[in-house]
Amino acid sequence: MTIQPPAPGEPRRPHGPRDPGDAWVVAPTGEKYWGRFGAAGLLALDPRRGVLLQHRVSWSHFGDTWALPGGARHENESALDGALRESGEEAGVPADAVRARFESVLELGIWSYSTLVADVTVPFEPVISDPESVALEWVAVDRVDSLPLHPGFASAWPALRTALSTRPAVVVDVANVVGSVPDGWWKDRAGAASRLLARVSARAVAGMDADTLGLSATRWFPPVTAVLEGQARSATVDEAGVSVRIAEGSGDDEIVAVTRELVALHSPVIVVTSDRGLAARVQELGAVVQGTRWLLEQLD
């Protein structure tokens, strides 16, 4: 099979068949955007080294500028999966070395670009693995503006940089949430807790809309801690995106302890409970309280 060379300015692939998403979208006014199904990029943030940036090769669209590793999404591919796949292909980013924090979407109607901001949890060295990069470097956040940036990234960077200071976390009072729905939970508290955790996990993996969290950007992936007490402590727990704390004594005391730990690292910390006494205790620590309906509406 003969692989046709790319048109001038078109991103190149080192080998293999072209994906249907690898195509230009042309606006009625003539602007061109790469990615038939939109595009996505990864902003990997290392706490010591800064942001991972790609120096684009001169023949690429807006060449000789710095931007995020990324590219065209595949059909039916989520922005998160697309950003991780593209950054892996272009910069050797291990998908299991980063944890998604939030997603910011530029929506133009005919085309969209999604920036996935992720925290580096396991340090790694980027690797130039295709012809689209001249260099890959960790750049301190304060130095990003000093580089010649890709116009799209330059436009998005101020809002992205501001959002980097936000690290939400969610704490769920499982007993209170389960008890707010009269579905027979009292006959099987552990089973009811397991079902709730499965639903919370699905939402945590898919992300929470920024509006529901009172935050900017588009979608957030806050760490979720669920506190189990009493008979629910035997619930089946193996859910992605959710960590579980078992209360050996008072569930409220354990939630307060978890909240105290989290407020030192995250902001805002959102505690989900409709218990007024517990709400007052965690608010004294600086947490934000949301009632059980807030969570259940997102799960529905």
Residue 48 DSSP class: T
Give the largest Cα separation in the chain, rounded.
70
Where the chain has pLDDT below 50, the residues are 1-10, 12-15
Q: What is the pLDDT of residue 34?
A: 87
- CATH classification for the domain delimited by 24-163, as one of 3.40.50.300, 3.90.79.10, 1.10.287.40, 3.40.50.720: 3.90.79.10
Per-residue model confidence (pLDDT) at position 4 = 30
CA distance 259 to 237: 21
Q: Where in the chain is the domain with CATH 3.90.79.10?
A: 24-163
Residue 40 confidence (pLDDT): 97
CATH value of 169-299 in 1.25.60, 3.40.50, 3.10.20, 3.30.70:
3.40.50
Distances (CA, A) of 34 to 15, 17, 21: 19, 17, 9
- Edge-first strand order for the sheet with 169-173 is 242-246, 224-228, 169-173, 269-272, 288-290
Collect all residues with Cβ–Cβ distance below 8 Å to 124 and sequence separation of at least 6.
Answer: 92, 93, 94, 97
For CA atoms 149, 150, 151, 157, the dihedral sign is negative
Q: How far is residue 19 from each of residues 56, 239, 255, measured CA to CA in Å?
A: 21, 33, 48
Beta strand residue intervals within 210-281, DSSP E: 219-220, 224-228, 242-246, 269-272
Q: At which residue do the structure tokens 């992605």 appear?
A: 240
Spatial distance between the Cα atoms of 112 and 104, rounded to a whole number of angstroms: 10
For the chain, where do the domains classified as CATH 3.40.50 start and end?
Answer: 169-299
CA distances from 24 to 9, 21, 85, 222, 299 (A): 11, 9, 19, 34, 37
Structure-token pair, residue 173? 């009072």
- Helix, coil or strand: residue 142: helix
Q: Which helix (H) or strand (E) holds 211?
A: helix 210-213
- Region for residue 66 given its phi and psi (left: phi exceeds 0; alpha: psi -120 to 50; beta: otherwise): beta
- Give how far Cα 159 sits from Cα of 62, 155, 186, Å: 21, 8, 47
- Which percentage of the chain shows pLDDT scores above 90? 78
